[in-house]
Amino acid sequence: MRAVYSPRYELSLPGHVWPTAKYRLIAERLAGAVDLVDPSPASWDELALVHTPEYLDKLRSNRLTFGDIVTLELPWTPELADAFRLMVGGTCDAARAALEDGRAAHIGGGLHHAYAGHGEGFCPLNDIAVAIRVLQNGRRIGRAAVVDCDVHHGNGTAAIFAGDPTVFTFSIHQQHNYPADKPASSLDIGLEDGAGDARYLSELRAALPQVLDSRPDLLVYVAGADPYERDMLGGLSLTKEGLAARDEAVVAAASAAGVPIVLVLAGGYAENVADTVEIQAATVRALLR
């Protein structure tokens, strides 16, 4: 199985909670188990299939305002625009590989808080939306579904695809957590704090048939590690065993429906980065079974 990855995903974010070293550590764990593939950056024209000209011009010319950067919550430098274009391209490449092989992973991506006209919550660009639009624009797919299992609601993705019958968006998340504004997905399950394995898995398994009933040509699995019980930014209290069962449920549902699946990693902020690495490497391995 192909897994897209670049060492350039290890960004310099001094003092930030996002452990971007995790991408390298996950790739090292998976060496020999997957075929690691270098990404190509998304072009500005590809980004424009989702993002507004005004916002892209700000990124290209490094004219993000103070307010933009506060909302983005990243120590922004001009070099980050190209780094994130590369990560968006990585999701596009992984999605193409999934269509060819049935399954593929991106050791990166899952930037689901970015809207068409601005970035939010560590996400300057929405790789999920761009990959879907690139494949639709190239007539590689007609319909897509997003299964977003990050602890945080996929607000940017929901807003971008609102009212679009060709893309089914599903988010299962901690309701009383970031973001405050949660635009409606096609299907939302907002769980209470401390929901735990049994409740989470029951709700997820009940929802997956509705997602697959939308007849997608591609399923994008946003597999955040942050529902984990020791995550610093999450509070759903899932165990590693629960997260493994989550992965198995999503992969099995796509397989049973004969739908290609592409994995993007999204968030993960465990107290010990080794836990995030272990969880997300196991998520990639779930595609190998």
Distances (CA, A) of 27 to 106, 232, 246, 285: 10, 23, 21, 12
Average pLDDT over residues 130-140: 98
Residue 199 neighbours by CB distance under 10 Å = 16
**How far is 163 from 251, CA to CA, in rounded Å?**
27
Spatial CA neighbour of 50 closest among 148, 156, 146: 156
Determine the pLDDT at residue 50: 98
Evaluate if pTM is beyond 0.75. yes
Share the mean pLDDT of the chain.
97
38-64 per-position pLDDT tens digit: 999 999 999 999 999 999 999 999 999
Is a pLDDT exceeding 90 seen at residue 289? no
89-117 per-position pLDDT tens digit: 999 999 999 999 999 999 999 999 999 99
**How far is 254 from 212, CA to CA, in rounded Å?**
7
Percent of the chain residues topping a pLDDT of 70:
100
Parallel, antiparallel, or unpaired: how do β-strands 103-106 and 261-264 relate? Answer: parallel
Determine the pLDDT at residue 51: 98
Determine the pLDDT at residue 172: 98
Determine the pLDDT at residue 247: 98
Is a pLDDT exceeding 90 seen at residue 139? yes
| DSSP-derived secondary structure for 140-204 | S-S-EEEEE-SSS--HHHHHHTTT-TTEEEEEEEESSSS-S-----SEEEEEPTT-HHHHHHHHH
**Identity (one letter) of the amino acid at 271?**
E
| DSSP-derived secondary structure for 51-114 | S-HHHHHHHHTT---HHHHHHHTS---THHHHHHHHHHHHHHHHHHHHHHHSEEEESS---TT-
Determine the pLDDT at residue 178: 97
8-24 per-position pLDDT tens digit: 999 999 999 999 999 99
Is a pLDDT exceeding 90 seen at residue 136? yes
**How far is 57 from 53, CA to CA, in rounded Å?**
6
- Half-sphere exposure (Cβ direction) of 215: Cα atoms closer than 13 Å: 3
Which pLDDT band holds residue 265 (cuts at 50, 70, 90)?
very high
Q: Rg for the chain (alpha carbons), in Å?
A: 17
Is a pLDDT exceeding 90 seen at residue 129? yes
Determine the pLDDT at residue 121: 98
DSSP state of 270: B
Average pLDDT over residues 114-138: 98
**How far is 108 from 74, CA to CA, in rounded Å?**
17
